[in-house]
Amino acid sequence: MSRPGEPAGWSAVSAVTPPPWLSPMVLALESAPALELSRFSPPRDGSGRHSAVLILFASPDAAAEGDVLLIQRSATMRNHAGQVAFPGGATDPQDSSPAATALREAAEEVGLRPDTVDVLGALQAVWLPPSGFVVTPVLGYWRSPHPVGVVDEAEVASVHRVRLSELLLPANRFTARHPSGYSGPAFAADGLFIWGFTANLLDRLLRLAGWEQPWDREQVRPLPV
């Protein structure tokens, strides 16, 4: 359970049982306070544009063999251009929940079939000050993976199923530094430079699941141009 006075960082949205290899992450999230996942809480006045992203894991039977679905955003996007991200986007009026938003956006961006996904739960919403988005991360298990790819080149430049073994390799982990002075965890995997919101979430999820391997946080790399 969360500590007194701290909001929970997780809410189950279905009775689906995760595969055994993914269970440590789900169990850890059930007791993690929201501040464990992000220090940026949504504005109390309700402002911000609501959205959701889909953190979609797939694997036959073991974390070491698993992967997570990521996209690289188009360089022409108004917000977070060129960055690596989870599939997702802004909430539409017809969306019944953050999970509905995340699945709809993933279908529109990469052609994901929602019926192949078991939605496990949603994390506490996170505020992204640079863009003003209030983002709810939705955790899913890709029960029946199928081919996916770029649907709209105006939004997505490339689609990747990044192996967890690459993300966990200490040599692929470092601290990224933005010209503004921001620094945070980052990954180099599948030819991608993963930083910012996406890297922060991955960093916390891998640590909570107990999969993280010690890595050199003093190794600092600037953001690529």
Q: What is the pLDDT of residues 97-152, one digit of tens each?
A: 999 999 999 999 999 999 999 999 999 888 887 677 899 999 999 999 999 999 98
Band (3; pLDDT cuts 50, 70, 90): very low
Would you identify the CATH topology of the domain 10-163? Nucleoside Triphosphate Pyrophosphohydrolase (3.90.79)
Name which of 121-130, 158-167, 208-217 the model is least confident about. 121-130
The alpha carbon torsion through 90, 87, 127, 196 (nearest 10 deg) reads -140
Q: Which residues pair with 182 in a beta bridge?
A: none
For 36, phi then psi, to 5°, come to -70, -25
**Predicted pLDDT of residue 180:** 84
Highest mean pLDDT out of 57-61, 132-136, 197-201: 197-201
Pairing label, strands 133-142, 183-189: unpaired
The bridge status of strand 173-177 relative to strand 220-222 is parallel
